[in-house]
Structure 1
């Protein structure tokens, strides 16, 4: 009887081991990639568009056979538009979910919130729309962050594009700058704009600041109206920018208002109102009305799946996903250092807006567009190459 019990126990143990082996084999059939995005909070619209782009890319990749014979599995976690939470999300994705890489985030602060985690853990990340140079280059050491890449242009390029457009196209000779004082993105883009605008011969008449989450900007806008500058430069994010533009127009500030890619969200026009957005302009990565066949093919696929036109967040997240998949394929490996090397040597990759390759700082070399708002619609104004 005792002998039978021992044999029975051994059989149970073997079944558990085999069950565990089968589970491991099953997990080996997928490549897990983390997605760290702002799905709630002040930048939730950014995160929603980004995840749409990622999911579209993953569907296409998996339907075409996957990568290295395996399906891509996205593990998505909400960072709640919070820097500290972004750090926690990255830690969870790496330590608990065991992802091979992370895509995200959509903003400089939340991306900076995870760079130390991925660096210490030696897991590559591709930020989608974090444009501050500090994301890929450590400002304290001047060294490139080995495991950090991005899919978007950087603020030194974007700020120069804005300054050139303001001075040479809009013929603005004076400007007021109104920044989000808690945003590295806003402050960094403002500094680049100011330096280039002044270098061209322009003059900054006033600089004002608000804090993300503010709702009433009338007191500061009264001061700005009194300055009577040729242009208002507003390098913030859509949630506050929409309210500022709405209140500025209600107060009779009718001068051109210019900003960066932080404006790009369908919610901007909803917040500000279509008429208030007239005579406003932004630099951006993409515009859906671009006649390029590759752009129009993407727009159609996106609209068929989601019922709306894509914004730049969707495009860059889509590109980032395909860039990462291409790197894993080229490396023939999911090991971090192999992926990093493949990203650094990326060639012949064509994104939605054209060819993409990384420079020595892990920043992509790519063009920007200037977009004008007319009656709530985005109109292509100009394309600027690096």
Structure 2
């Protein structure tokens, strides 16, 4: 590589299911408003089972950690937080059901789902109810906009967008001198398509081969053979960990030792299990934050508390969810109420929020201003991180 890498490492170690955390479990739906209740309810709509559950589980864990910390510090507006979690089973249908049930349970804010498609499916539900939704990890650019490009009042996110990470991965490739790339994209998700489009837009070289797959596919030998027979210098896998892991494994077993680029979907420990640690090498992926000796104290504290509580390694998805929860608490405190319109206004006016994934303000499209980091993996370990100026 021709860039100077920062010494860094990341902790990549890491049926309605409504349960309560904090004030106890909820067994009955009430007609009590969130503002007048004896507790403040925060909803979590997560992929706790199904094909991308590795994302949802760690994010749900992180929110429970944030809720426990806040309750120990006195709660919100002198009330205890009751966290309601819903398992959407990694499907859009259940994501909608989860949003409806959390709205019915008078959640002041809903956090999640993890994925773009599931988040998009819930937008109309929370908008009608005027319940703010904070996405920790839905990266599609249009998540916060309607079809005419107008801002959706009740939808916010704290992660960078696909245009930023797709463009930054292309810019990284340009700086490394790659002139011929191959793309393998998840054709069944907006996530994969958006990332591929942005890479195309910003890559200065030629995309000499483009292949696609659909979710839950497992045999990638045919498309990898096509890439092996091309003159590609680098491979960009635009998709989630469930398929990216086997793609990496099968590529290495086929003798393809080219650098493999990935989006933030690579940032979960399960991808290493699927790829095989021996194949987790010469990988570069987009990340929302890094940990090193110069990390702020809030980063070190979060990582230590997560490890102690769950006896497992946190990852960037857990860090983003932790920030989303604390942003929700911050907005409610600034609003001085759980009224949806007041909390929405407070979220839109967020300035200089300090989180473990960085400090940010909310822009006019309800997106944060953040840096994209590219992590370098060698011999199964993250050995460096490079900040790439975000491009659109």
Superposed pair shares fold, TM > 0.5: yes
Contact 1:175/1:204, CA 8 A, preserved across alignment: yes
Contact residue 289 and residue 380 of structure 1 kept, 8 A: no
Larger radius of gyration: 1
Q: Is the 8 A contact 1:36 1:79 kept in 2?
A: yes
* Secondary structure of residue in 1 paired with 2:81: strand
Q: Does structure 2 retain, via aligned residues, the 8 Å contact 1:274–1:376?
A: yes
The count of residues paired between Structure 1 and Structure 2 equals 358
For the pair 1:245 / 2:251, whether they are aligned, the reply is no
Q: Is residue 179 of structure 2 the alignment partner of residue 173 of structure 1?
A: yes
Residue 157 (structure 2) pairs with residue 154 (structure 1): no
How far apart, in 2, do the equivalents of 1:328 and 1:184 lie? 32
* Aligned residue number for residue 19 of structure 1: none
Deviation at 1:376, TM superposition (A): 2.0
Cα contact 2:372–2:389 (8 A) shared by 1: yes
Match of 1:283 in 2: 286
Distance 1:24 1:194, change over 3 A: closer
Matches within 5 A, 1:13-92: 28-92=37-101
In structure 2, the partner of 1:107 is 115
Q: Aligned to 2:325, what secondary structure does the other structure show? A: helix
The structural deviation recorded for 1:309 is 2.2
Q: Out of 247, 258, 263, which is 2:261 matched to?
A: 258
Q: Distance in 2 between matches of 1:327 and 1:61?
A: 14
- Counterparts in 2 of 1:49 and 1:306: CA distance versus 1, 3 Å: same
The CA RMSD measured in Å over matched residues stands at: 1.7
Aligned 1:144-223 pairs, distance under 5 A: 144-169=151-176, 171-197=177-203, 201-223=204-226
Asked if the contact 1:206–1:224 (Cα under 8 Å) also holds between the matched residues in 2, the reply is: yes
Unpaired runs of at least 5, structure 1: 1-22
Q: Deviations over 1:212-241 (max 9, x none)?
A: 000111011111111130011001100100
How far did residue 126 of structure 1 move? 0.3
Matched, 1:296 2:278: no
Runs of 4+ in 1 over 3 A off after TM superposition: 23-27, 288-291
Looking at both structures, which has the greater relative contact order when contacts are Cα pairs under 8 Å and sequence separation is at least 6? 2
What is the TM-score normalised by the length of structure 2? 0.88
What SS does structure 1 have at the residue aligned with 2:277? coil
Deviation at 1:144? 0.6
Determine if the alignment matches structure 1 residue 130 to structure 2 residue 138. Answer: yes
- TM-score, normalising length: structure 1: 0.90
Change (3 A) 1:291 1:303: farther
Report how far residue 29 of structure 1 moved: 2.2
1:99-140: CA deviation from partner (whole Å, max 9, x where unpaired): 1110001110111110111112211100110000121112x2
* Structure 1, 285-294 or 153-162: larger mean CA deviation: 285-294
Change (3 A) 1:385 1:331: farther
Q: Give how far 1:287 is off.
A: 2.8
- Partner in structure 2 of residue 379 of structure 1: 383
1:286 touches 1:311 (CA, 8 Å); kept in 2? no
Structure 1 residue 25, shift from structure 2 partner: 11
